[in-house]
Chains A and B, each alone.
Chain A
Amino acid sequence: MATMTALQPGTYGFPVSIRKKYNNYIGGEWVAPLSRTYFENVTPITGQILCEIPRSNAADVDRALDAAHAAKRAWGKTSVAERGRMLEKIAQRIEDNLEMLATIETWDNGKPIRETMAADLPLAVDHFRYFAGVIRAQEGSICEIDSTTVAYHYHEPLGVIGLIIPWNFPILMATWKLAPALAAGNCVVLKPAEQTPMSILVLMELIQDILPPGVLNIVNGFGLEAGKPLASSPRINKIAFTGETTTGRMIMQYASQNIIPVTLELGGKSPNIFFKDVASADDAFFDKALEGFTMFALNQGEVCTCPSRALIQDTLYDEFMERALKRVQAIKQGNPLDKTTMIGAQASSEQMEKILSYFDIGRQEGAEVLAGGKRATQTGDLAEGFYIEPTVFKGHNKMRIFQEEIFGPVVSVTTFHDEDEALSLANDTLYGLGAGVWTRDMNRAYHFGREIQAGRVWTNCYHLYPAHAAFGGYKQSGIGRENHKMILDHYQQTKNQLVSYSPNAMGFF
């Protein structure tokens, strides 16, 4: 640690020991970066240095690709039962060490332990189990073309996959991509986000005996120096990326040079739509809707599907907002390791700066601040951490705070008069990842939800991410659907064997 502080790993919460220095995991071994250079990994909780992480470059990426290519043939030939069993073991290992991994994730990312314990890690466990099961249930197909001709379709792995992982849910986002990629029989080179590299490495230490060497390789470093050589390498057979649009385009550009498939998840500006009837009774459902509104603060708003635009029916607005703002004011912010804390620190100082820049533009555009709107002052060990107050703006949908993913605990609220206006506002965005619809009228919920241009329409719920429910974007939110067996198609080739069971020549020559 750079300075002595009471709040250090091991001194508060579940006792974890953090190495002073981590390395890359390549070919089943922990290896130093070839340049021998490292960078400092800061915890957003206190702003202090946690550990050192390899600052890798193209040579390390090549080394990892060598290891992956050396392993791919044997790994691709393992039975689905063997691969499924290994994924089950990974799931079990995570579950058996859940509080340790949750605590590490909290130290690395700044999110509250309540969420890592109840969401990030249990969801990762479930995803590994889901793909362990679903790969065994996957079937090829046989098509009888005619009485003597049969088409057989087999699933084959693509080979070596590049994964570039974001910093908002480091272990879970890695899992969303890793579980299907490994289940499908691919080898992987994974680059964690440089803002949150540590938890994936701690997870790798925990599961390293389960997978054969070279199947999963982790190369750390900066996007420019390690991510770019991975994304542009002619030696990957597919790239999967979660992040923003310009880099998404860049990754497609590199993929076009190598003619390889990509899957992209590029974020959103998700509308959360509340119809008047949610308040027709002051009951459990109304309470649930109020919680649904407050979900913008989950994970400090650092969620691609953050319900960052609340559209509230004009006849509901006053009654709803009076209660909703009380709910926001009751959010407990502070030490992310405290199990009662509801909102922790933003993942990095630059992220905090960006959010503050949006507070400025929101005010300039004339938005009204109904709650928050500034950096949250913390004291003691937390004083240098990156905390932002949960913030509610009121304005209109053309304002930039309604159109850009702030990636902070910020919701922009506006009203609508009827369904037509609600739909027009909901779809007036570049993105189409998530949406929420709240109503007691299930006919309306069905028809209205079908008209929203978004890949996931939560209906009378929000922020659920179960395996077996497809997740991905319309419009500029990306390409592909994760969390469901259909993602296997994005990690597999189809082999068609077209077989003639006739002894007779075709008669052309």
Chain B
Amino acid sequence: MPVVPDQVIAMPAAVELMATLAAKHGELMFHQSGGCCDGSSPMCYPRGEFLVGDADVLLATIGDTPFYMSRSQFEYWKHTQLILDVVPGRGGMFSLENAEGVRFLIRSRVFDGVEITALRAAGRV
């Protein structure tokens, strides 16, 4: 069986920021945004605060933190691995890092053919 690649990975700075936020706010969750302004930002909330449902896909669990995206958006994103990173900045609406002077940022990597095959075989894409 080929190795199924992670669909979301977190850079060390993201893991560190998640630990800081978890210490302040408790368990976390992510939902990947789209659209205007702060669109494309991974929004970080106290776990359970954002209602997910059949319209969402659980892409990954980073540590114990679930990372979701809307199913319709995932259709356009599924050929890429998401890399959760942190940059200086502000905003992000109601995302928990909003007042920390930093922002979660998604970078991306296009899966190669072998990875896509493995993801398909595993029913992940």
Contact = CB atoms under 8 A, between A and B. Distances in A.
Nearest to A477: B35
A223 B94 contact: yes
Contact of B89 (A168, A246, A266, A353): A353
Nearest to A349: B89
A368 interface: no
A405 B94 contact: no
A39 B80 CA distance: 36
B95 A404 contact: no
Contacts of B65: none
Interface in A162-216: 166-168, 193-195
Interface in B70-123: 70, 72-73, 76-77, 80, 87-96, 98-99, 103, 105-110
B61 interface: no
Contact of A225 (B36, B43, B45, B98): B98
Contacts of B103: 350, 353
Contact of A404 (B40, B50, B89, B92): B40
Contact of A223 (B50, B93, B107, B108): B93
A224 B35 contact: no
B41 interface: yes
Contacts, number: 164
B109 A350 contact: no
B91 A194 contact: yes
Contact of A265 (B36, B50, B72): B36
B92 A223 contact: yes
Given A350-B88, A353-B105, A404-B40, A245 B35 contact: yes
B109 to A, nearest CB: 7
Query: Which of B51, B73, B99 is packed against the most chain A CB atoms within 10 Å?
Result: B99
A244 interface: yes
Given A245-B70, A249-B50, A430-B72, A304 B90 contact: no
Interface of B: 31-41, 43, 45, 50-51, 70, 72-73, 76-77, 80, 87-96, 98-99, 103, 105-110
